[in-house]
Structure 1
Amino acid sequence: MVLRSGPVLSERKLTYGGAGVTLTGGELRAGSAGFRGYERTFLLGHGSSLWAFASTEILRWGVKTRSGFSVESAGPSTSVTGLGHPVIAGNKYWLIANLGPLRIHEPVQVVAVVDKPDRKGFAYGTLAGHPVRGEEAFIVDRRTDGSVWLTIRSLTRPASGLWGAAYPVALLAQRLYRRRYFRSLRGPVHDPGDGG
């Protein structure tokens, strides 16, 4: 069963104000306007091989696709999995969660991309029709000791309409997927000569 309703993806608008706040630390804070905040940083490991893997995967949707999501661009059923499909600021996508027999299509827009030598990642905001309202960011950092870290930040609140009633279930799903996100960028690399 596919759960996707509403206008076509290109016509959907962000469901909150302050786009990019999870990367910039802007004015929108947990508790303001009913938003629930989350931030956690997790050590992925050490070494240049791990950094090369994680920093590449984060900018091509690996944190989502390696966690069980499918990703489609705004075009007609264009899959974003695999090489050559970068996360692009301003583009709109369907994140497709497979929960048993359900395929839940979550419309999002990438609101910011970070692409620096030792810091990579992106933030997306929810569009009309998403099960929650708000923003989520995924950032990988390489520190001077060679350690590689993944940080996830989000600000969410219930969506309007029928999805609002399902918010408690959406919070449970967030917890499940966050565990997967933190595992998604840990391998499959190991370079013993590299401290990893």
Structure 2
Amino acid sequence: MTDDDLTYPERGGTRHTPLPPGYHHLREAVRLGHSPTAFAAAGDAVATFRMHRAAGTRIRAGSPRAAPGVTVDVSLGIGPLRITGPCRVVWTVDTADRAGFAYGTRPGHPECGEEAFVVERRPDGSVWLTVTAFSRPARALTRLAGPLVPVFQRAYVRHLGATLRRLTGGAGDRR
């Protein structure tokens, strides 16, 4: 599959620092636990979109697992207030200490940019969800929301972290 329909040129930009200029940047980390079991459970929940679904996000994906090229429609809200954002997975990671993916925006998404969801086991054994994104408004609605968008994004990351902790049941969380 191709990523020619992405609405921004910096494909894979969430893999690197610094993030591309000209966008709002987000990098938030939430501690999930402290064990190999927590890492495995959280990594699987992210890669299968289970974390998103359990957090109340409607996900329609072209595959049960995130993989480069997979299309994903992400919807938040209810009824006439539901906002849908077409995306495509642009990269994945699945190593002994990192698991996750990033998707980029496609035409019709209210934002323009990329967002990554990565579970990481740090050297001290702690397990973290890190969400990294760069974005800017692509529609009048998101331009009008202005400074509220970053506030919403940070709150959503905290919600995802709490959801992921609940899904993993604090799996093996020991200190």
Q: TM-score range by the shorter chain?
A: 0.7 to 0.9
Secondary structure of 2:15's match?
Answer: helix
Gaps of 5+ in 1: 1-9, 75-79
Residue of structure 2 equivalent to 1:55: 43
Which one of the candidate residues 162, 167, 185 is aligned to 2:140?
Answer: 162
Identity %: 35
**AA of the residue aligned to 2:26:** Y
Distance 2:103 2:74 in 1: 11
Question: Which portions of structure 1, spanning 4 or more consecutive aligned residues, are displaced by more than 6 angstroms?
Answer: none
| CA distance 1:165–1:142, shift in 2 (3 Å) | closer
State how many pairs are aligned.
Answer: 172
**Is 1:18 aligned to 2:10, yes or no?**
yes
Residue of structure 2 equivalent to 1:72: 60
Distance 1:162 1:144 in 2: 44
Deviates more, 1:98-107 or 1:110-119: 98-107
Residue of structure 2 equivalent to 1:111: 90
Gaps of 5+ in 2: none
Distance 2:114 2:104 in 1: 4
Following TM superposition, by how much is the alpha carbon of 1:129 offset from its aligned partner in structure 2, in angstroms? Answer: 0.8
Secondary structure of 2:103's match?
Answer: strand
**Is 1:97 aligned to 2:66, yes or no?**
no
**Is 1:41 aligned to 2:20, yes or no?**
no
Q: Which has the larger radius of gyration?
A: 1
Cα RMSD, aligned residues only? 2.6
Secondary structure of 1:137's match?
Answer: strand
Deviates more, 1:89-98 or 1:17-26: 17-26
Residue of structure 1 equivalent to 2:162: 183
Residue of structure 2 equivalent to 1:77: none
